Amino acid sequence: MWLTRPLRERSTQIFLGVLFAALAIVTFLHVAMPEDSALYVSAYTVTLLGKYLCYALLAVAVDLVWGYLGILSLGHGAFFAIGGYAMGMYLMRQIGDRGTYGDPILPDFMVFLNWQELPWYWLGFDMAWFAFIMVLLAPGLLALVFGFLAFRSRVTGVYLSIITQALTFALMLAFFRNEMGFGGNNGLTDFRDILGFNLRTDATRLGLFIATGIALAIGYVICRGIVTSKLGRVSIACRDAEARARFLGYRVDRVQLFVFVVSAMLAGVAGALYVPQVGIINPSEFSPLFSIEVVVWVALGGRATLYGAVIGAVLVNYAKTVFTGVMPDAWLFALGGLFVLVTVFLPKGIAGLLASRRKGKQDEQDTPTAPSTTEATA
């Protein structure tokens, strides 16, 4: 089975081991340590770590398409945000009549805008199962339509990057509009509970953190399963020599479409887990800057390694938390510098550094190597 194969793999075992160990340690330190202890992990930190894990899952999704398919998506933030909005709509409906205006059905912003009834696309979001399916379906559908059009006409390379960026930009403008029915500028916020658990309690936060960790583990295993399967090999062939793969008889566009849709769904899940933890979703998640930032996490961690994406996402976001706290003005300098340094001096990222350290041992099995950068983009 393609899904169980990664579990027998050394690198996946190490990754899952580290991830679950981290989850266990954080949980233990949060629950068992007294609050005044130096080792105590506060609920705030737990949520922060949960946020990092969401970003890590998003980075894994981006790495799947960029690292193994050669598609530099500058619009994955859009799938992340749509997943987030699907979750946000569910959480909005859960508020019920506890909102400021006390309307049992309409969310506050709709009452404020004098809307009389719920728009059709909000229907069903009061049911958790429906919302969770939409978390997967909505981004998946967008990716399917967009990818179908793009891959069928063989839009690749820089062009594809630019139109994915245009896509997320257009969506951002659209979601800023009040008429769209997604809360406009302010987005969706003021959530109360999820599946009956109060979102403001520490226990729920810890639960969300663990759930995110598990989602990341599953996402990682799925991606790993895909890239080590036959499909994954074809996808790498598409990345390195698209025309040749086509001439050999592979349906390049279908492979691209499948991987792209899976990646979009993973991004959607990441967004859905992100929203209850940060407590808000607004159109700024669609901003092109965010999407391109995700790419640099992957680039820093090491493209086409998956675990590198996780490392990059956690590292960059940790740095961002530190920087914005200590000297907010310097953050964009640091981020900008990171973009330049990574692309010029660290083309294979941190994972590449690690790999070159153990070069002598050479005990890696069939890990597909990172793409040689010149070929991948030609």
Partner 1 sequence: MLPRLSPPQLAFNRQDIIMSILRSLTLLLIALVSVLSLPASAQEDDPGKALLNNLAEVPASRVEEAINAIVSSGDERARGWLEAYGNNRLSRIDDTGQVVIVLNNRGRDWEIANPLTGENMGEMSRRELDRIAINNRIRGQLEGILAMLDLNATDPDVREASAQDMMGKVDASLVEPLEAQLEREENASVRNRIEEALAIYRVGEGNLEAVDVLAGSLHPRARAALNEAVRSDNPALADKAEQALASIEQKLKLNRAAETLYFGLSLGSVLVLAAIGLAITFGVMGVINMAHGELIMLGAYTTWGMQQLLPGQPGLALIFSIPAGFLVAATAGIIIERSVIQFLKGRPLETLLATFGISLILQQLVRTVISPQNRTVVTPEWMSGSLVINDALSLTLNRLYVLAFALIVFAALMMIMRKTRLGLEVRAVTQNRAMARSMGIRATRVDIMTFALGSGVAGLAGVALSQLTNVGPNLGQNYIIDSFMVVVFGGVGNLWGTLIAGLSLGTINQLLEPWAGAVLAKIIVLVFIILFIQKRPKGLFPQKGRAAEG
Contacting positions for partner 1 (CB under 8 A): 72, 146, 149-150, 152-155, 157-159, 161-163, 165-167, 169-170, 173-174, 176-177, 288, 292, 295-296, 299, 329, 332-333, 335-340, 342-344, 347, 373-374, 376-378
Query: Is the separation of the CB atoms in 57 and 273 below 8 Å?
Result: yes
Backbone φ, ψ for residue 194 (5° rounding): -130, 125
* Distance of closest approach, residue 328 Cβ to partner 1, in angstroms: 10
Q: Where on the phi/psi map is residue 126: left (φ > 0), alpha (ψ -120 to 50), or beta?
A: alpha
The first and second tokens of residue 252, run together, are 């390049």
Question: Which is nearest to 91 in space by CA: 192, 224, 223?
Answer: 192
* Distance of closest approach, residue 177 Cβ to partner 1, in angstroms: 6
* Distance of closest approach, residue 61 Cβ to partner 1, in angstroms: 17
3-state class of 197 per DSSP? strand
Q: Give the gyration radius of the chain's Cα atoms.
A: 21
- DSSP annotation of 371 reads P
Given the complex with partner 1, which of 96 and 157 has the nearer CB atom?
157
Given the complex with partner 1, which of 2 and 148 has the nearer CB atom?
148
Given the complex with partner 1, which of 55 and 146 has the nearer CB atom?
146
In single-letter form, the type of residue at position 314 comes to V
Given the complex with partner 1, which of 99 and 181 has the nearer CB atom?
181
The residue to which tokens 């399963």 are assigned: 225
Given the complex with partner 1, which of 201 and 372 has the nearer CB atom?
372
* Distance of closest approach, residue 291 Cβ to partner 1, in angstroms: 11
Given the complex with partner 1, which of 156 and 277 has the nearer CB atom?
156
* Distance of closest approach, residue 130 Cβ to partner 1, in angstroms: 28
The first and second tokens of residue 180, run together, are 């769209």
Half-sphere exposure of 77 (CA within 13 A, CB side): 28
* Distance of closest approach, residue 60 Cβ to partner 1, in angstroms: 18
- The CB density around residue 82, as the number of other CB atoms within 10 Å, is 29
Given the complex with partner 1, which of 49 and 350 has the nearer CB atom?
350
- The β-bridge relationship of strands 197-198 and 193-194 is antiparallel
* Distance of closest approach, residue 330 Cβ to partner 1, in angstroms: 8
Query: Is the separation of the CB atoms in 218 and 60 below 8 Å?
Result: no
Given the complex with partner 1, which of 21 and 166 has the nearer CB atom?
166
**Beta-bridge mates of residue 189:** 280
The first and second tokens of residue 312, run together, are 């990059």
In single-letter form, the type of residue at position 326 comes to V
Query: Is the separation of the CB atoms in 216 and 57 below 8 Å?
Result: yes
* Distance of closest approach, residue 295 Cβ to partner 1, in angstroms: 6
Element (H, E) at 194: strand 193-194
